[in-house]
Amino acid sequence: MSNTTRQGGGGPPRHLLRFRFHHHRATSFGKAILAFQPRQLIEDLLSESLPKLTKRTPSAAALRRELETIRAAGIATERDEAILGESSLAAPIFDHAAHAVGAIGVVGETERILPRGPAKGLSAAVAEAARGVSRELGAARWPYIA
């Protein structure tokens, strides 16, 4: 399979996922999209060397577990994983073919976004925004659980 082959008939070309993965795996936006990619693609990406961006950047094993949680809940979070003092919460956006094609969320100071977990009402607001955009793109339901 060439590096430009699309996985599962949709989503970004594989070479773009590899390029973006190393930094976006430490963001809620990247995790929200990655969680809904084909499992083989996830395993391929996680088999590569993963540089730590901060001391909180997850290991491949921790990220694997987190992606399962994201698939179940439809919400991704990160706390100081890419930039110290900055955290985010995001939800995947699906198209008419049920492919995760983007994410929507919020980024801000850790103490405002994730003081002891997501700030009150934040997960519901982000999920509703993702659901709305997904509907506009023709998604039959949200979240799409593979």
In a domain, 146, yes or no: no
Chain centroid offset of residue 84 CA: 19
Range of the domain at 45: 13-136
59 compared with 9, residue with greater pLDDT: 59
119 compared with 123, residue with greater pLDDT: 123
In a domain, 5, yes or no: no
Q: Are 80 and 54 in contact (CB under 8 A)?
A: yes
What's the token pair of residue 129?
A: 């925004």
pLDDT band at 19 (very low <50, low <70, confident <90, very high): very low
pLDDT band at 59 (very low <50, low <70, confident <90, very high): confident
| pLDDT of 17 strictly over 60 | no
In a domain, 116, yes or no: yes
Residue 44: phi and psi, rounded to 5, are -60, -45
Distance CA(28)–CA(57), nearest Å, equals 12
Which residue type is seen at 117?
G
Structurally, the chain folds into a number of domains equal to: 1
In a domain, 6, yes or no: no
For residue 30, give the CATH number of its domain.
3.30.450.40
In a domain, 97, yes or no: yes
In a domain, 105, yes or no: yes
Cβ neighbours of residue 118 closer than 8 Å, sequence gap 6 or more = 75, 77, 89
pLDDT band at 1 (very low <50, low <70, confident <90, very high): very low
In a domain, 145, yes or no: no
Share of the chain above pLDDT 70, in %: 81
What's the token pair of residue 32?
A: 């929200």
In a domain, 2, yes or no: no
Distance CA(97)–CA(21), nearest Å, equals 23
